[in-house]
Amino acid sequence: MIVAVDAAGGDYYPQNPVAGALLALQENDELTVLLIGPEAIINKELATHEYDKNRVLVYNAPEIIGMEESPSTAVKAKKNSSIVIGNSLIKVGKCQAFVSAGNTGALLAASTFILGKLEGVIRPTIGALYPTVKGFRLLVDAGANLEIKPEMAIQFAKMGKIFCREVLGIDSPKVGLLNVGEEEGKGTETLKEIYPALQASVSNFIGNVEGKDIMHGKADVFVCDGLVGNLILKFGESIPEILMMLIGKTIREANISQEDALKIQQVIASATASFNYENVGGIPFLGVNGVSLVGHGSSTPKAIKNMIHKAIQTYTQDVNGKIIASLN
């Protein structure tokens, strides 16, 4: 099994992708990693580590696509970037999967363009793994498709269920439609059309779910359009930082002892540990003809390692074969 790792993507390259890839090697004897990016910086970083040289390959990709670059322009212009090369190497069978903490839009564009769509897929999608009191659950679409139609919603629900079952290990995933109220007939005209479509075509559809149901994990797959998914994702991601900022300020202003401050921070860290994105690492583009995953720009080595494990699972569980079977 060869997993390609984008060593020029994310906020902390090459350090974090390289360290994460080497961590993954230690946990999986069958694995070989292929580090993609500017050769010189990868080799310099590798020189600071001890590792099994037979299981680490380097592929030179001198061009770099920045986090803020316009996706389609960058993918067209930079054929020698890690993002374009990573997907191309899947296409020609040089690796079984590609993982990156880089520019999500560019990754989606490159994987859709280079790998193509799975048979029967209308539009590939990217979900978000959302922390709930029951563990991570899937919000799909998370920004790839800002407006959706009933047929797309059905496919997102089906692909999301397969990912939840095969990779997250959720036995019989429930599908909910994010809406302003529980009753059928609520919402925009589009949502009123999507509800009966999901009811007719998706097993385990539990109906509409509301914003307050997300963190309670009322559904396993929350279906929404990419505008809603993106706004909720980014809003949710801002909360821990805001919370720690306010708690830090309170601790300073209230003259709390260092010892007590430590206890408080430990309790909060422990209470929110299950929300730690590092444990899931990344998520595949669903509907593309290959295994291509994306993680947070700020991915730590541990997050990269877990994204590699998720990629292996997505491949060995044949998520894509099961998606084709469910859609056709």
- Measured from the CB atom, the residue of 40 and 267 that comes closer to its own copies is 267
Cβ proximity to its own copies: between 47 and 242 the closer is: 242
Residue among 267, 241, 276 nearest 130 (CA) = 276
Which residue type does 9 have?
A: G
Tell me whether residue 171 or residue 259 sits nearer to its own copies (CB atom).
Answer: 259
Alpha carbon of 278 to those of 136, 161, 165, 184, 303: distances in Å? 11, 22, 20, 37, 4
Q: Shortest distance, CB of residue 208 to its own copies, whole angstroms?
A: 11
Q: Which is nearer to its own copies, 31 or 264 (CB)?
A: 264
Rounded CA-CA distance 151/327 in Å is 11
Give the nearest distance from C-beta 122 to its own copies in angstroms.
Answer: 18
Nearer to its own copies, 47 or 271 (CB): 271
Write b or e for each residue in 164-182: b if 16 or more Cβ atoms lie within 10 A of its Cβ, otherwise e.
bbbbbebeebbbbbbbeee
Three-state DSSP at 241 gives helix
Quote the least distance from Cβ 259 to its own copies, whole Å.
Answer: 10
> Cα–Cα distance between 145 and 147 in angstroms, integer?
6
Q: Nearest 5°: phi and psi at 59?
A: -125, 120
> What is the strand order of the sheet 283-286 is part of?
56-60, 32-37, 2-6, 97-100, 292-294, 283-286, 125-126
Q: State which amino acid sits at residue 220.
A: D
List all residues 6 or more positions away from 29 whose beta carbon is below 8 Å from its beta carbon: none
Residue closer to its own copies, measured from CB, 77 or 239: 239
Least distance between its own copies and beta carbon 132 (Å):
9
Q: Which is nearer to its own copies, 7 or 224 (CB)?
A: 224
Provide the token pair at 58.
């380097």
Q: Footprint of its own copies on this chain (CB under 8 A)? A: 133, 143, 146-147, 178-180, 187-189, 191, 210-216, 224, 226-228, 230-239, 242-243, 245-247, 249-251, 254, 256, 260, 263-264, 267-268, 270-272, 274
The whole-angstrom separation of Cα 320 and Cα 218 is 26
Min separation Cβ 239 and its own copies, Å: 6
What is the identity of the amino acid at 30?
E
As beta bridge partners, residue 60 has 37
Continuous segment of H or E residues that includes residue 36: strand 32-37
CB of 231 to its own copies, least distance (A): 4
Do strands 128-132 and 135-140 pair parallel, antiparallel, or not at all (unpaired)? Answer: antiparallel
CB of 238 to its own copies, least distance (A): 4
Least distance in angstroms from the C-beta of 37 to its own copies: 26
Nearer to its own copies, 17 or 131 (CB): 131
Whose Cβ is closer to its own copies: residue 166's or residue 210's? 210
| Nearest distance from C-beta of residue 69 to its own copies, angstroms | 12
Give the 3-state secondary structure of residue 256: coil
